[in-house]
Structure 1
Amino acid sequence: MNIILHDNGLHLRFAPLTLTRPVGDLRVGILTNKERWERWIPEAVVSFQTEQYISKKFPRVSGEFEIEVNAVIIPNEALAATILHLEDNQILMSEDTWIARRGTASEKIKWTEKHPLELKQRWDLFRLNDEVLVADYLLLTGGRKSQHISVSNTVIGDPSLIFIEAGASVEGSFLNTTSGPIYIGKEAEVMEGSMIRGPFSLGEHAVVKMGAKIYGATTVGPYCKVGGEVSNCIFQAYSNKGHDGFLGNSLVGEWCNFGADSNTSNLKNNYSMIRSWSYEEGREVETSLQFMGVCMGDHSKCAINTMFNTATVVGVSCNVFGGEFPKKFIPSFSWGAVNGTELFDLKKAKEAANSMMSRRGLELAEGDIYIFDYLSKYGG
């Protein structure tokens, strides 16, 4: 079986995160939708139908038995069981939203249960993270036994809602599960003095630095390092916010770095509803939210003491520095973004990316280089 996660034309709606990855590869909760489908249907090969330039890195894998799935739908057990029984040329619909289809999709099948969780806007990632993280926790830990919780920790709430994977280390920390579970991935580390309120997820090989203050619902993806004060944020993977400073209601891509004591505003001074840059509309749009921090695309960095305005959007491969607030929208490959913005030379941008990746024994792959070249030429 081949499951194809279809972007459904929403590539720019979730940008800048989806300037470098398909919609179905966005992390929300503990997992990406690709990882969820692989767990619900282990025999399936899961791939993507996405923008042509992104498909160089994330190709579609075709086969005789294909089911296309709407990439913005968060799957669950009932959905997985239903799509397995879709016949040729059938499409599963919930209200006006298509969920899955085979062939020409000429015959409509109605989903009669509660409408599944659906990502409709970029900010739904952190807005729905609480609910999705709890569901992922149950999916990953059901019927399994956690590592022993060290007596050096102080647990507030139900200790059975803490799951520590093999090889992980949690010592001398405060773990509070009264608002949701806490999941610690393989080989991850929570350093002493950390204070964590669930729901919270720490990916494999990720680190919470000493004395961190983390509020739910927060997801720290694989190989990230996080310190300071963090509230309702999602880090995709391989990104660092290792020092003091506040980050709230924010979305961080891969290979990003926050300089020491960088801070993000997530609430306007007059408490009004927030407007934020939309790549899809090419302008700021109303969000109907009162809290929103920064959204930072892959390979972007900011210097020490950087101050981000409420709802700042940073593109791919930006280097943000200066003594004042940066602009609220920083296009990809920006150098500076405070008292005037220059273009980050493409060759130097690739060198900077490889320098950071080499510390983890990695480098830009052919697909990554193609994405960099495309975005530098056509904008982002």
Structure 2
Amino acid sequence: MSSRKPDILLIERGLLEHRPLSRFQSIFRFRSGLFSEWERIRLEFPSSRLLYYHPDPELEGIFARSLGATALQSLASDEPLHLAADDRGRPEKEIQILSQKPGIEIRTSSRLSLFRILDDLDGSIQQDLDLIGRARDTEAVADIELARWQWLTGPYHALSGVSVLGNPGNLMVHPSCEIGPGVVLDAREGPIILDEDVRISAFSFLEGPLYAGPGCRLDNLRLTGGNLLGAGCRLGGEVENSILGDYTNKHHEGFIGHSVIGSWVNLGALTTTSDLKNNYGEIRLKLPVDQFPDYDSEIVEVSTGRIKFGSILGDCVKTAIGTMINTGTVLDAGSNVFGGHPPKYLYPLSWGLTGRRYQTERFLADCEKIFARRGQSPDKEMPTLVHRLVSGKHPENMDFLGDGI
């Protein structure tokens, strides 16, 4: 019987660069290796109580439920971790107060740097493989998340007709995968992990480090530089050193490089990101200060500290065919991009480049339709989260009655 683990407090700092990826879910659920930070904590501390803090009280309640955690604001005043209302809204002071309380381990979202995460995907994948190995020897073996990874113990796919470069021991391919003739798996730079029911068309080239989630469809694809692909992604063309969330589509020609892309994104044919400035200068992002930005919100520049960085695309972003995305562009969640080159920052639920909003009820109806095509449905909290995003003064596009672009 294991000793009692400490309470784990997840503190979401609301960093500006995290917000486009955390409009509809906590950033703790963002995949940064085989796992998200939330999944790692569940495996590492299976018997611990999870608590969750967010600077916005309403988001704290919503995201805590999706994390299976207790919202910090719901704790009774006699709880050791109770935080007085006067102490909320000042993250540095809050963390200082909470870190001094006994029996607690704090994990803050500031540990996740979107600007450094792409540099060592090999290390992130290996750490998660090690975590799975350790968890097998604990009570977590019955955990449903760990059970899903039992296939990593083998046997693996026979890889008949596949060209393998590098150490074959770096290949972990689920036996249910379908791999066409002439596919090249290059494991010289890191492991390649292909999860259940991944399908790869003939003559695709996949370079490690790579994780492709269950149900990915990889067709006529060149994948290089280290990549993480969520469940159900459909990809073609060229992708380099990027992270793509669940059910994201880039199924046609075009280039995506050094980018961080959310879930349920659809990139029209020939959509391309730039990831290097012509003068090799440092890449800076433009991001709004407000948690729920409107078109008159203050915009600030955020340094990435690097000369190679593509774009950040939030959940449910859509781009028209031929969209060219400049270096360091941020397309916030729910944007429908058409009509030219998007600006350096595009607000949530933007409708084209007109400065108008996507009508919220139509957006939600479109999400229902799009999710259903993959046998999924939006989270029940999504309408609340969407309406929070457009709670400012800028009007929705009430003229829009079509089916989208």
What TM-score do you get using the length of structure 1 for normalisation?
0.80
Aligned-pair distance for 1:138? 4.1
Is 1:167 the counterpart of 2:176? The answer is yes
Distance in 2 separating the partners of 1:287 and 1:11: 13
Is 1:133 the counterpart of 2:125? The answer is yes
Is 1:123 the counterpart of 2:115? The answer is yes
Give the partner amino acid of 1:259. Answer: G
The structure where strand makes up a greater share of residues is: 1
Aligned-pair distance for 1:5? 4.8
Distance in 2 separating the partners of 1:145 and 1:11: 40
Distance in 2 separating the partners of 1:205 and 1:344: 30
> Is the 1:30–1:221 Cα contact (8 Å) retained in structure 2?
no
- Measured against aligned partners, the alpha-carbon deviations of 1:261-286 in whole angstroms (never above 9, x if no partner) come to 11100001111111112345831222
Match of 2:309 among 274, 289, 292: 292
5+ residue gaps in structure 1? 64-87, 90-96, 111-115
Query: Which residue number in structure 2 is paired with residue 52 of structure 1?
Result: 57
SS at 2:368's partner residue? helix
Residues 141-160 of structure 1: pairs in structure 2 closer than 5 A: 144-160=153-169
Is 1:331 the counterpart of 2:347? The answer is yes
The structure where helix makes up a greater share of residues is: 2
Query: Which residue number in structure 2 is paired with residue 205 of structure 1?
Result: 215
Query: Which residue number in structure 2 is paired with residue 258 of structure 1?
Result: 267
The structure whose Rg is larger is: 2
SS at 1:247's partner residue? strand
Residues 1-380 of structure 1: pairs in structure 2 closer than 5 A: 4-44=8-48, 46=50, 48-50=52-54, 51-54=56-59, 55-59=61-65, 61-62=69-70, 105-106=100-101, 119=111, 121-140=113-132, 144-172=153-181, 173-209=183-219, 211-280=220-289, 282-322=299-339, 324-337=340-353, 340-378=354-392
Give the partner amino acid of 2:309. Answer: M
Distance in 1 separating the partners of 2:129 and 2:235: 20
Distance in 2 separating the partners of 1:157 and 1:207: 24
Q: Percent identity?
A: 25
CA RMSD in angstroms, aligned pairs only: 3.2
Aligned-pair distance for 1:20? 2.1
- Measured against aligned partners, the alpha-carbon deviations of 1:228-249 in whole angstroms (never above 9, x if no partner) come to 1001110121111111100001
In the alignment of these two chains, the number of paired residues is 340
Distance in 2 separating the partners of 1:5 and 1:164: 35
Aligned-pair distance for 1:7? 2.8
> Is the 1:233–1:251 Cα contact (8 Å) retained in structure 2?
yes
Aligned-pair distance for 1:169? 2.4
SS at 2:391's partner residue? helix
Aligned-pair distance for 1:61? 2.9
Distance in 1 separating the partners of 2:109 and 2:315: 26
> Is the 1:57–1:367 Cα contact (8 Å) retained in structure 2?
no
Aligned-pair distance for 1:171? 3.2
> Is the 1:190–1:207 Cα contact (8 Å) retained in structure 2?
yes
> Is the 1:7–1:22 Cα contact (8 Å) retained in structure 2?
no
- Measured against aligned partners, the alpha-carbon deviations of 1:76-126 in whole angstroms (never above 9, x if no partner) come to xxxxxxxxxxxx99xxxxxxx9xx99977346999xxxxx99735332332
Distance 1:230 1:307, change over 3 A: same
- Measured against aligned partners, the alpha-carbon deviations of 1:162-205 in whole angstroms (never above 9, x if no partner) come to 10124222333100111000001122222221101100000111
Distance 1:354 1:3, change over 3 A: farther
> Is the 1:38–1:45 Cα contact (8 Å) retained in structure 2?
no
Distance in 2 separating the partners of 1:283 and 1:146: 51
Aligned-pair distance for 1:149? 3.1
Distance in 1 separating the partners of 2:109 and 2:20: 22
Distance 1:137 1:189, change over 3 A: farther
> Is the 2:10–2:50 Cα contact (8 Å) retained in structure 1?
no
Give the partner amino acid of 2:217. Answer: V
5+ residue gaps in structure 2? 72-79, 82-91, 135-151, 290-297, 395-405
Aligned-pair distance for 1:314? 0.5
Distance 1:379 1:285, change over 3 A: farther
Distance in 1 separating the partners of 2:118 and 2:247: 18
What TM-score do you get using the length of structure 2 for normalisation?
0.75
Distance in 2 separating the partners of 1:351 and 1:342: 18
